[in-house]
Chains A and B, each alone.
Chain A
């Protein structure tokens, strides 16, 4: 692994978001939606508590829609324009390229997430929240975003069409979130053996994010997201290797 190659690929990809209006449109929509969901769905004021739980708890649902919009271009565009032939004949390995691109998308998501800082200012102005919890939730949310991005990056590698990449990533993300949703769990709980129900819900982003959104960072939840990212990126590299020239 050549760290410098990863860094340069990441830098180029990250700047690429800002070369077009895509980055700005995305950030504005993201901030509008987080604001809306925090105040209207999460009932930020009505709860009367000085924390950002209403903000973080909505993230899985927002990410389902928004993360595929960030990840869809990662490889689909590269394949469509043919620049993948250029990239893959530069002295970099497939893993370096996959990692560099993923990290760029992840950094971009982190930036969008950080731009919610007015909420943090608001909650600190209104009361005295536990800022340690907020930092932990922020990192946890970023980790979960990485999981969504890894799925999206891998899906983006199988097609030249960004719309297909977007829709497929959205559906797969939805499956990963819904596996832990009450209705789904109840549906299986009626007839399936408890171990299977546990297994299904243990694959869900919701199950692993719930504690994180309350500021509790459990090593098992972190491991879940890290291994999820690793597996999807590994698959991503295999797909690129096999299909780059198609």
Chain B
């Protein structure tokens, strides 16, 4: 585990507004960190500070050991960055644009040609290389931005909403690309698309109002859901109230909730433990016939809400 990005007590204040207020975390090689948070939580501002575009109000950022304030050029040389909205020089063609990026990044001669071709292939833009960027669709523009960010095979990749505004196929392609690169890089991806937590990331940091609210694996994030390991069970031909009382009396059950219609009950375990097998055995042990039984996984949207808006209704 080599630490590639180290962020310590990072803050950015715009006047009285504390856009980022004391954020600390680090990312190692092989980690794909999903940076979650509602719009305006400070995700982009944090990324702009990591990449040296914004100067922090306080705190430090180190990329591959280089301090972004003391040696910004080395930091920028070691990272690839896709800014929000994937800005590019609109009147250039992707091939000229990527050659410019390669030249600026000190890639020369044959190596330059190879780097441009490889980045274009991986970002799947080889068929639009000679059209002005301004004439490309949103998906292609995004991928030109991605190609630009991975061109020099950087050890650190910072992607600000890489899949925002893409259709499901394009999202899938971008995710595949990121997964292909995940092994030997440290990657930070900001997103508010929760399905990407599982599709892309092996770690999540959730921020809200400029502060870190959660730092852990996607499983740990799910475990924060009250639905985590809850079991929906339906037993036919039984008096509902009696069955509910029976479920509540079990020692591993924390809470029981009746579902709509005749769909049975949702059983919440104590301390989020796995209860599916135990529950099914107990019910059968009483000679009842199970109609349906399935365990639920955590609901990320609910966790997201409860983490980022702790004061909102906790239904």
Chain A residues packing against B (C-beta within 8 Å): 4-5, 8-9, 12, 15-16, 19-20, 81-86, 88-93, 244-245
Contacts and interface: CB of A to CB of B under 8 A. Distances in A.
Contacts of A5: 104
Contacts of A84: 87
B87 A81 contact: yes
Contacts of A89: 51-53, 76, 81, 83
Given A8-B100, A83-B89, A244-B53, A90 B76 contact: yes
Contact of B53 (A12, A16, A88): A88
B232 to A, nearest CB: 48
B73 A8 contact: no
Contact of A93 (B73, B83, B106): B73
A91 B77 contact: yes
A86 B104 contact: no
B200 interface: no
Contacts of B73: 91-93
B51 A90 contact: no
Contacts of A93: 73
Contact of B104 (A15, A85, A90): A90
Nearest to A8: B103
Contacts of A4: 103, 106
B51 A92 contact: no
B69 interface: no
Interface residues of B, number: 27
B105 interface: yes
Given A5-B104, A81-B87, A83-B88, 13 more contacts: A8-B104, A9-B104, A12-B89, A16-B89, A16-B92, A20-B91, A81-B89, A82-B83, A85-B83, A85-B87, A86-B148, A91-B104, A244-B53
B22 interface: no
Given A20-B91, A82-B85, A91-B73, A245 B104 contact: no
Contact of A12 (B48, B81, B100, B105): B100
Contacts of A92: 73, 104
A85 B82 CA distance: 9
A88 B52 CA distance: 8
A185 to B, nearest CB: 44
B278 to A, nearest CB: 54
B54 interface: yes
19 contacts: A5-B104, A8-B100, A12-B92, A16-B91, A81-B87, A82-B85, A82-B87, A85-B53, A85-B83, A86-B83, A89-B51, A89-B53, A90-B104, A91-B73, A91-B76, A92-B104, A93-B73, A244-B53, A245-B53
7 nearest interchain CB pairs? Answer: A82-B87, A19-B91, A91-B77, A91-B76, A85-B83, A8-B103, A89-B51
